[in-house]
Amino acid sequence: MKASIRKKAILLIIATFITLIFLAPNLWMLFGSFKSQNAMFALPPVWIPDFSYIKNFTIMLSESYTYLLNSIIVTICSTIVSLIFSLPTAFGLTFFKFKGRFFLADWILSTRMLPPVAAAVPLFILFKYLNLLDSLFALVIVYTAFNIPFAVWVSASFFKKIPYDLIEASRIEGASWFHIFLKIAIPLSKGGIATVAIFVFIFSWNELLIALFFTVSESRTFPIFISAQVSQAQIIWGNVAAATVIQSIPPILLTIFLQKNIVSGLTLGAVKN
């Protein structure tokens, strides 16, 4: 009995130590956002800052309002459009029996293997021809295109956990495929859909290279604003830390908001009758 308790205590200590290692950079970033430039380089180090010092946040929010709004618009639009296209596609690949569906599924996945930045040059030429450079619409198109393959495959993995007998019974009762998709597949897979939405949101929210390549001034997003804080003259680390904290808030809030659905998605299909 004592050996078992000792073993659990050791495992708890190890888990706590590993957790602190992963949390340390985030805590340092959070504390740094409340420090002045002098406090960032003070010796001995200022471990616990004055949390009433919010000048870094006020400066970043006042200067980045347009960038932040652009990121919100692009991220929400690309997430919604990605789900609109990927969920019916995943449903069809899962439940429709047609020749070549496995090849089609593999082809969709193969398009995700291409790094987004590898398609930057041809897309730049295309958007320049269509007069879409430096526009939020162009970013929504690119983010949606690169998110759909991932969203299709992850959504399909959750649709496959729905008992096919339930689908067949619904068809016998006269339900249309559209009704089955909306009333059965979507509610039973809402945990998986929430997971897909979070990953798509995070990719669109944090993406830098594509946004830097296709925008000039009016449509620049918040990650570009953060990168612009690093100059050859100096780096104001307090501002960078504050901007990074602001950047981290929306994904955290979305994850907390969808936490219940994520947990239900993880346990979907865990118990088989």
Quick one: 63 and 26 in the same domain? no
User: In angstroms, rounded to a whole number, what is the distance separating the alpha carbons of residues 197 and 151?
Assistant: 8
Quick one: 13 and 114 in the same domain? no
Domain limits at 208?
A: 55-266
- Domain contains 44: no
Rounded to two decimals, what is the model's pTM?
Answer: 0.83
Quick one: 9 and 86 in the same domain? no
Q: Which pLDDT band holds residue 69 (cuts at 50, 70, 90)?
A: very high
Would the pLDDT of 3 be above 50?
yes
Neighbour-count burial for 108-128, b at 16+ CB within 10 Å, e otherwise: beeebeeebeebbeebeeebe
**Could you report the per-residue pLDDT of 123-164, keeping only the tens digit for each?**
889 998 988 888 899 999 999 999 999 899 888 888 888 888
- Domain contains 127: yes
- Sequence-ordered list of residues with C-beta below 8 angstroms from that of 211, at least 6 positions apart, any chain: 74, 139, 220, 221, 223, 224
User: In angstroms, rounded to a whole number, what is the distance separating the alpha carbons of residues 42 and 5?
Assistant: 43
CA neighbor of 228 nearest in space, from 76, 216, 34: 216
Quick one: 73 and 118 in the same domain? yes
Quick one: 23 and 67 in the same domain? no
Quick one: 17 and 105 in the same domain? no
Residue 218 confidence (pLDDT):
79
Quick one: 97 and 229 in the same domain? yes
- Domain contains 22: yes
**Could you report the per-residue pLDDT of 12-41, keeping only the tens digit for each?**
889 888 988 888 888 888 888 888 878 877
194: its two tokens: 């929430």
Query: Structurally, how many domains does the chain consist of?
Result: 2
- Can you tell me whether residue 230 is helix, strand or coil? strand
Residue 89 confidence (pLDDT):
92
User: In angstroms, rounded to a whole number, what is the distance separating the alpha carbons of residues 214 and 216?
Assistant: 7
- Domain contains 177: yes
